[in-house]
A and B are shown apart, each in its own frame.
Chain A
Amino acid sequence: MDLYEVYTGSRLDVITEEVLSGDEEHGEEHQEEVKEEEVNRDLPTKEAFVVVSERTETRELSSTSQRFSTDTNDSLRFEAYVPSSDEEGTPSPDSSVDGHEDVFEEHKESEALFGVTAQQKLNKVNNIRTKLEEKVVEMENFAGHLEEIFLTVEENFGRQEQHLEQHCNDVLQTLSHRYDERAAALGEEKKRKLESLYTQLLGCGRTLDASKDLIETAQELYRTEDKRLFLQAVMPTMKRIEEFAKEKPDLTLVTPLEFDMPLADLSDVKTMMDSINIVPAPSAPVINPQVSNSATRTSLRVCWSLFSDDSVEYYELYYRPVLEDTPAADSTKGPDVFNVKVKETHCSVGELLPNVQYEFWVTATNTTGISPASEKAVYVTVPSPPVIRQRECSSCPEAALIRWESGNTNPVDSYTVELSETGTDGQSGVNESIVAVPTCESLIQLQSGRQYLIYVRAVNIGGPSDRSEAFTVSTTGTIFHLLQDTAHPCLSISEDGFSMFYGDEELPLSAMTFDDNTFARCVAVLGDLIPVRGRHYWEVELEEDTEYRIGVAYEDTQRNSYLGGTNTSWCMRHVLTPSRHKYEFLHSGWSPDIRITVNPVRIGLSLNYERGILSFFNVDLEQHLHTFYCSFLHYVHPCFALDNPGALTVRTGVEAPQYVHLV
């Protein structure tokens, strides 16, 4: 409450005086202004806000506020709430009281009706209360703004006072300095003149003495009786007198009578006097570095500060995108510079590109001039949301591997993966986030038998992007997609990525393109199994007569050998001989001799890393066919091959039947 006391003191009086002097010409208005001023004076006290519920006062308040908002801050243009009678549901407090009276009236008529109506009225009252509470909050905000203004005005006045005082002192100092200089110069001159006059006086005296001496000698001579002596002495004396007469005494004054007074040059004092009323041009503002979470995809909030002595009328904010592919030497031809004029020391700039760096600098201007530009600061807009690559995501009952595209051309700082569990009743469960993921993939540990929604955000210094599209993971089974880049050229893969076909037409070798990753001999493809050393189960559906190899292989299994032919793959092979269906369980080219009487058309594969087993089942019969016991040194991928034209479909996401765990 200290602040309020300050306002009610001298500071407001200053404002009042200003207002009064400004309005003196308008006789009648003057009185109104005084009234308003009084309201104003009450304003900063708490009671003013509690009391303010009447329309007239509110209006006055709003008009007053207009006067105080010095057009330096838009947010100060406070629109006071004026209860409007047109608006339904927002009656004045008075009308709500009337409403209560109505309720009492009705009560006499019908108690049931009373309940309903009372409830309605109660709701109305509650509405009004909520609105009033909102108003109070707004008012409090407004009071906050006023506080700020008062503080600023006070500060500015103090600053100006100081400034004026300093300026006057400067002028006085200069003048007294001038006075001292001039006085000293005059004294010098006087001394010099007196000295030369005195010297002249001495010269005159000496000449006078000499003349006197000569006269006396002549008179003595004249009185001499002895003619001889007279004649003897007269001639030299005459000579001396003649000589003396020849010396003309200098009787002119050696010094001029006038003092040499240069005209006083007071022009500088004059400019100083003039400049008392002029504010100095501001110095360069200081631009702040970017504050985290202050940006959106298309906008940035830039802040800067000024030196406290400066008064500034407005700022000019300049910005341009920093394009990394533009060569530095060509910077003059860089992107266009945009320019915004603002009065505040902050500005929100919109219509920007996502995840782009922008260079900002700012100048301050007042009536005197424009400041130098601030240092340049680089701000970054928030990135666009990443795009989850559904086809490259895989999961198992214990985890999910999520891969995504950045969604931004420029690199971002990191990614955040968010997951929420969706219950069977559609409720979303606990949220978890994994932050600071540096790459475009993340392996997330999950609980089995649940359903999750997974989102990804891209993060840079400006903040996190919006969420990506949701990716749904059910941790009932293992889900993987086929690695199409490993597929033999003869193998075509269906739209959904789970069926493969080996056509009848033989492709000419020239039409086949192989790369290092493509199966070159075996018409095969690998599946992208999640790298989790747990249990995995998937199924394969095929025709009884299809000749196939299915199983697992290391990711780097030789592409030019047959699956099962090396020690990097394990697979079940079906061969159709003229006499029978032959089933092999191949690893390193060797298979146990196993006869199977019922040809499977739906084969379940169960991989258990921990126990090092890979089992095959005839799903329709729940029949165990074979189990490989092998300690898998690396992660394996499901592999599928067709040895003759035919088709094969992979079923993933199937919950492993209980019997597979009995092996």
Chain B
Amino acid sequence: MALAQVSSNKCSGGYQKVFEHDSTELKCKMKVAVYLPPKAENEKCPVFYWLSGLTCTEQNFITKAGSQQAASEHGIIIVAPDTSPRGCNIEGEDESWDFGTGAGFYVDATQEPWKTNYCMYSYVTEELPRLINANFPADPENMSISGHSMGGHGALICALKNPGKYKAVSAFAPICNPIQCAWGQKAFSGYLGKDKKTWEAYDATVLAASYSGPQLDILIDQGRDDQFLSASQLLPGNLIAACSENKIPVVFRLQPGYDHSYFFIYSFITDHIKHHAKFLNA
């Protein structure tokens, strides 16, 4: 569990750092970005976990989303892990951009050859919080989760599968119903096998329909000009219908003119951090 600091830059009064560690879940070296607000120098702070989308590393969010200012103001630690194990020398891991490296989909793989390393769900929900709580002034009772695209899917399933674990959840253009879209079907069949029943355990829409637990307040932003929305990869309508049915509070904002990029995330990240702060600092 040794953490090695890769970089440290002062940012918005606090520090944006990157660490490297040997992951027991993923059996490889993993990089993780941690933003420590000024408040963390003196007291324990809540932790906001950010899950990035396809092809991303820990760098995209910390360099493009502009989250540090709001995190500094609200006294929130932001933890942004990488999106998949890397350098595991698995055959075919670098063949396509939407499967393998950079596309862990936040599931625990059950199929060979992926099941040894591709346990991103356990990494994100178990190993990473343990690591953070042990090494930083983090309040273990106060964590929340958010993400973009594949990371939005990851954030939603983490929250829905672990009632009470996350105080707040939000998502940018999440893949809401992966079992119904091309990306999800490709990834799930690769990691989880042909049995579609096993896929449902990682599908936000399916999970939402049967969720029961402490009240969630989900904020979802979606660009209207997102090419993946029109390509039916994201399917937010299905999730909204399930949440409406199961009375899970969601505010879904379709933002006209915005696409799937980090420019879109940058535009609304402050709203999301405020949304999380409301529950984390309550």
Contacts and interface: CB of A to CB of B under 8 A. Distances in A.
Contacts of A625: 251
Given A594-B252, A598-B243, A598-B248, 17 more contacts: A580-B244, A592-B253, A592-B254, A592-B255, A593-B253, A593-B255, A593-B256, A595-B253, A597-B247, A597-B250, A597-B252, A598-B244, A618-B249, A624-B251, A624-B278, A662-B278, A663-B274
- From B224, B254, B278, name the one whose CB has the most chain A CB atoms within 10 angstroms: B278
B130 to A, nearest CB: 30
Contacts of B282: 659
B255 to A, nearest CB: 7
Contacts of B40: none
B217 A595 contact: no
A610 to B, nearest CB: 18
Contacts of A659: 278, 282
Interface in A591-621: 592-598, 618, 621
Contacts of B215: 621
B249 A594 contact: no
A296 B215 CA distance: 66
A58 B34 CA distance: 100
A662 B256 CA distance: 25
B249 A621 contact: yes
A593 B256 CA distance: 8
Contacts of A623: 217, 249, 251
Nearest to A661: B278
Interface in B238-282: 240, 243-244, 247-256, 274-275, 277-278, 282
A133 interface: no
Contacts of B253: 592-595
A275 B213 CA distance: 117
Contacts of A593: 224, 253-256
Nearest to B254: A593
Contacts of A309: none
Contacts of A29: none
Contact of A622 (B217, B244, B250, B277): B217
Interface of B: 215, 217, 219, 224, 236, 240, 243-244, 247-256, 274-275, 277-278, 282
Interface residues of A, number: 18
A446 B140 CA distance: 43
A659 to B, nearest CB: 6
Contact of A598 (B249, B254, B255, B275): B249
A18 B203 CA distance: 124
A623 to B, nearest CB: 5
Contact of A597 (B224, B243, B274, B275): B243
Contacts of A598: 243-244, 247-250
Interface string A39-67: 00000000000000000000000000000
A594 B254 contact: yes
A597 B250 CA distance: 5
Given A580-B244, A623-B249, A595 B274 contact: no
Given A621-B215, A622-B217, A623-B217, A596 B250 contact: yes
Contact of B252 (A595, A618, A662): A595
A607 B278 CA distance: 18
Contacts of A621: 215, 217, 249
- From A593, A597, A622, name the one whose CB has the most chain B CB atoms within 10 angstroms: A597
A594 B255 CA distance: 9
A518 to B, nearest CB: 35
Given A621-B215, A621-B217, A623-B217, A596 B277 contact: no
A573 to B, nearest CB: 16
Contacts of A594: 251-254
Nearest to B247: A598
12 contacts: A592-B254, A593-B224, A593-B256, A595-B250, A596-B249, A596-B252, A597-B250, A598-B248, A622-B278, A624-B251, A624-B275, A662-B277
A624 B274 CA distance: 11
B32 to A, nearest CB: 28
Contacts of B219: 624
A626 B251 CA distance: 9
A597 B217 contact: no
A592 B256 contact: yes
A597 B249 contact: yes
B278 A597 contact: no
Interface in A623-658: 623-626
Interface string A574-604: 0000001000000000001111111000000
B49 to A, nearest CB: 20
A585 to B, nearest CB: 10
A304 B254 CA distance: 85
Nearest to A621: B249
B98 to A, nearest CB: 27
Nearest to B208: A597
Nearest to B281: A662
Nearest to A590: B256
Contacts of B252: 594-597
A193 B219 CA distance: 145
- From B244, B250, B251, name the one whose CB has the most chain A CB atoms within 10 angstroms: B251
A50 B248 CA distance: 92
A606 to B, nearest CB: 13
Nearest to A598: B249
A213 to B, nearest CB: 163
Contact of B274 (A592, A596, A622, A662): A662
Contacts of B240: 595, 597
Contact of B254 (A595, A618, A624): A595
A422 B215 CA distance: 40
Contacts of B274: 662-663
A595 B249 CA distance: 10
Contact of B251 (A596, A622, A662, A663): A596
A572 to B, nearest CB: 12
A618 B224 CA distance: 25
Contacts of B255: 592-593
A618 B252 CA distance: 14
Contacts of B217: 621-623
A624 B255 CA distance: 17
A399 B66 CA distance: 40
A458 B215 CA distance: 56
